[in-house]
Chains A and B, each alone.
Chain A
Amino acid sequence: MVKSKDNKRRSHIGRRSVPYLLILPVMAWLVLLTIFPFVKTLQYSFLGWVLTRPWHKPFVGIQNYASVLSFSNHIYWNTMRNTGIYVAVALAIELILGLWLATLVNRPIKAQKFFATALLIPMVISPVVVGLFFRAAFAPDFGLVNYFLKVMRLTPWIPQEGFLGRISTALLTVILVDVWSWTPFTFLIFFAGLKSLPNEPFEAAEIDGSSPSQRFWFVTLPLLKPALLVAILFRAMDAYRIFDVVWIMTKGGPGGATETLSVLIYKTAFYYWDIGISTAMSYIMLVIAITFSTVLIRSLYHRPA
């Protein structure tokens, strides 16, 4: 990151309020569309408000939170578990795969630019299109995946109901689609990180007689820490809130096997119209998101320049 130097000569700008006026539209817009809805969310989460009876909204205190967090609320805890697995597994695979691809493309190869761009394409494809394609590809009767498995004579491994239809494979399948869409992002960050590495530490390590794997673990990886933090920050927060691809492929099914937090909250709010419960869940979700992103952003912020 580039920090602007505070230059004393700039203090002769006539009015001190100008800098603030210039950032005002952005700040006001963001406050109106983030802070204001947070306040509303908090307010709604204390109401027993279901939109099928819109005028009936009694204050119920923390009752919504109690029923969401109650241990007998298996749907909620199952969703938390799914979301946790989704974030952890997707993040782990994407970081490893992205770093691996970045080291490959960073070698002195031909057509480096072509590979670097082609590998980025999945990231810019609309999640709606991604979801529709993979729903078609994993369809049990005519999907391409089952077809290829049959061609490769792996018939016994094909679930009758399709990979998205079986409880034991659905979540992993959805995670693999996330890996397809977002490994390009970790690849991009690591590739940029690798390109900007200085030469000297590698030369020094080589003169000291280190092996290539030692150089990777003890020189490359520590130098890539900023890239790693950025990749974790963006990918963890985006995986945590995953909605579109999951919604289009499975709607959270079968039997809640792929239900993530955003999907459950969306259903509660817009299928059951339960504003009280859904905003209580989203407030808990928000607190977790803010905690994690603050920790990650701070570790980026305070890194030695």
Chain B
Amino acid sequence: MEVRRYNKYTTYTVLIVGTIIALFPLFWIITTSLKPRMLTFVIPPRWFVKPTLDNYRDLFQATKVTKNLVNSLIIAGWSTMAAASLGCIAAFSFARLRISRKEDLIFWILSTRMIPPIVTLIPMFLIFRSWGLYDTHLGVILFHTAANFPLVVWMMRSFIAEIPPEVEESAMVDGCSHLGAFWRITLPLTLPALLATGVLSFIASWNEFMGALILTGEEAKTLPVLTMSFISAKGIMWGRMTAGATLIVVPIIVLVIFVQKYLTRGLSFGMFK
């Protein structure tokens, strides 16, 4: 677009204020988790104090946070792998192969993303209890994987559709089966996109709260559910809470920086680049 006249000062002021508003909570959580307990709620707030790891020491000694951290990793890791692998294969089939009523099926997959989770979680809670899946990793993995399929299928379909079918066809002329051509040619070409899709599913599963709250008790409890429990009617354990929140947020910010290029595409389910 051609350069039009615009008010530079207003633009930059608005964007800088917007950025501060967007990033401030992150700054507050991380700095508060590093403050000595005495200074957490001094008014006026002290922004820069000598950092201490007391809150983290307390979090790791007084609670089972290590276990919850491992639970979160196992659940997010396995559900990402399941969603990314099965979803990618389905996306290939949708993008390249002949399926009757293809559009209806793929829009049905998208519409499962629109279902309020509470609707499926009540029966799932009851069914999982009778099947012995309540409070297990597998139970939450089943739920998170289903929740991530729409993202993976839509995003990977849009990436695969961008690769010209001719590259597969030339491999097939050389004697590959269509699946073999996908495995040897298309998949390596879309590998960066698949990794980015995986990272986005990992983030979704890692952050997810409602399903983990309903489907787990003590054994498979995830990090967000634990962190939530530091706030109760009796009061708020600020140190533990901010330390737990930092453990949730920091890995995600790192991952987001890695997949920055694919964010728009992923978060719009491949509909925009």
Contact = CB atoms under 8 A, between A and B. Distances in A.
A33 interface: yes
A188 interface: yes
Given A119-B19, A128-B209, A227-B272, A297 B107 contact: yes
Interface stretch (A17-25, A69-77, A158-166): A17-25
A266 B153 CA distance: 30
A199 to B, nearest CB: 6
Interface in A178-223: 180, 184-185, 188-189, 191-193, 196-197, 199, 202-203, 212
B26 A121 contact: yes
Contact of B18 (A119, A126, A129, A137): A119
A244 B209 contact: yes
Contact of A142 (B41, B95, B109, B145): B41
Interface in B82-112: 86-87, 89-90, 92-99, 103, 105, 107, 109-112
A105 interface: yes
Contacts of A124: 203, 207, 252-253, 256
B61 interface: no
Contacts of B209: 126-128, 243-244
Contacts of B66: none
A26 interface: yes
B264 A262 contact: no
Given A4-B161, A18-B97, A107-B11, A30 B118 contact: no
Contacts of B249: 125-126, 129
A109 B15 contact: yes
B25 A125 contact: yes
Contacts of B22: 118-119, 121-122, 180, 184
Nearest to B11: A104
Given A10-B178, A192-B268, A20 B18 contact: no
B134 interface: no
A19 B228 contact: no
Interface in B108-166: 109-120, 122-127, 142-143, 145-146, 149, 153, 157-158, 161-162, 165
B165 A10 contact: yes
A29 B268 contact: no
A108 B149 CA distance: 37
B227 A7 contact: no
B248 A189 contact: no
Contacts of B29: 129, 133
Contacts of A34: 112, 115, 120, 146
Nearest to A29: B146
A241 B117 contact: yes
Given A128-B227, A286-B115, A4 B109 contact: no
A294 B115 CA distance: 11
Contacts of A212: 4
Contacts of B268: 188-189, 192, 230
A27 B268 CA distance: 21
Contacts of B122: 37, 41, 44, 265, 269, 275, 278-279, 282
A260 to B, nearest CB: 10
A144 interface: yes
Given A25-B90, A124-B256, A147-B44, A282 B3 contact: no
B236 A188 contact: no
Interface in A21-51: 22-23, 25-27, 29-30, 32-34, 36-38, 40-41, 44
Contacts of B89: 22-23, 25
Contacts of B123: 36-37, 40-41, 44, 279
A7 B126 CA distance: 47
B28 interface: yes
A3 interface: yes
B224 to A, nearest CB: 4
A203 B265 CA distance: 28
B115 A129 contact: no
A13 interface: yes
B14 to A, nearest CB: 6
Nearest to A194: B1
Contacts of B111: 290, 293-294, 297
Given A105-B15, A289-B114, 16 more contacts: A10-B165, A18-B178, A19-B99, A23-B93, A34-B146, A107-B4, A124-B252, A126-B245, A128-B228, A133-B245, A137-B25, A147-B45, A180-B22, A248-B228, A282-B122, A290-B114
22 contacts: A10-B98, A18-B179, A29-B142, A37-B120, A38-B119, A40-B123, A126-B207, A126-B209, A128-B209, A129-B227, A129-B248, A133-B29, A142-B41, A144-B28, A203-B2, A227-B272, A266-B118, A266-B214, A282-B116, A282-B119, A289-B114, A289-B115
